[in-house]
């Protein structure tokens, strides 16, 4: 199985990443992708994600291992940006390639629920020139709970 898990610094194009990924999984019957972007909510000026790479990257790799155990995939791509971002810019890209669509779709959904609410990032946003930390929402925890065995 082809696999790419990375932290991304600076601006990047998820379309290029997914195109490269697709070329690595020629046996896949389908590829599901989710790209998360900084929402242009009202007065959001910027979003910043900080991390501790010795914890974050191994955590992302462990998540990829779990995804690969649960679904029969041809490939998995998990890219997560760190640093300061602005409205409209991509934050995260998760793609899964499988022989059949359901496995790809569910694998992406599972990975995103874990990245969103059980991840290794500290997130804050800037509104009206003031930075404030962001915690996962109750809905994020509910989404994650769907996957408990």
pLDDT at 33 over 90: yes
Residue 81's domain is classified under what CATH number? Answer: 3.90.1170.40
pLDDT at 53: 81
Instruction: Using pLDDT thresholds of 50, 70 and 90, give the confidence band for residue 149.
Output: low
pLDDT at 139 over 80: no
Region at 97 (left for phi over 0; alpha for psi -120 to 50; beta for the rest): beta
pLDDT digits (tens, 9 = 90+) for 57-74: 999 999 999 999 999 999
pLDDT digits (tens, 9 = 90+) for 90-129: 999 999 999 999 999 999 999 999 898 777 899 999 999 9
3-state per-residue secondary structure call for 12-69: CCHHHHHHHHHHHCCCCCEEEEEEEECCCCCCEEEEEEEECHHHHHHHHHHHHHHHHH
Q: Which of 102, 98, 95, 97 is nearest to 80 (CA)?
A: 95
Query: Rounded distance, CA 104 to CA 96, Å?
Result: 5
3-class state of residue 92 by DSSP: strand
Q: What is the dihedral of CA 85, 143, 1, 99, to 10 degrees?
A: -120
Full domain range(s) for residue 31: 2-145
What's the rounded mean pLDDT across residues 127-148?
82
> What is the number of domains present in the chain?
1
Query: Rounded distance, CA 143 to CA 124, Å?
Result: 21
Instruction: Using pLDDT thresholds of 50, 70 and 90, give the confidence band for residue 50.
Output: very high
pLDDT at 142 over 80: no
Query: Rounded distance, CA 45 to CA 41, Å?
Result: 9
What's the pTM? 0.93
pLDDT at 145 over 90: no
What's the rounded mean pLDDT across residues 52-56?
88
pLDDT at 40 over 90: no
């Amino acid at each position: 199985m082809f696999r790419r898990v990375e932290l991304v610094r600076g601006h990047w194009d998820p379309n290029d990443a997914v195109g490269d990924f697709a070329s690595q999984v020629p046996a896949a019957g389908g590829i599901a992708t989710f790209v998360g972007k900084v929402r242009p909510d009202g007065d959001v000026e910027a979003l910043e994600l900080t991390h501790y790479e010795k914890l974050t990257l191994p955590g992302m790799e462990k998540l990829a291992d779990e995804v690969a155990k649960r679904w029969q995939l041809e490939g998995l791509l998990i890219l997560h940006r760190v640093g300061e971002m602005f409205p409209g810019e991509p934050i995260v890209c998760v793609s899964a390639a499988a022989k059949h669509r359901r496995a790809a779709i569910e694998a992406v959904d599972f990975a995103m629920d874990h990245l969103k609410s059980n991840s290794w990032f500290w997130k804050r946003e800037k509104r009206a020139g003031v930075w404030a930390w962001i915690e996962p929402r109750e809905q994020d925890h509910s989404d994650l709970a769907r996957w408990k065995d």
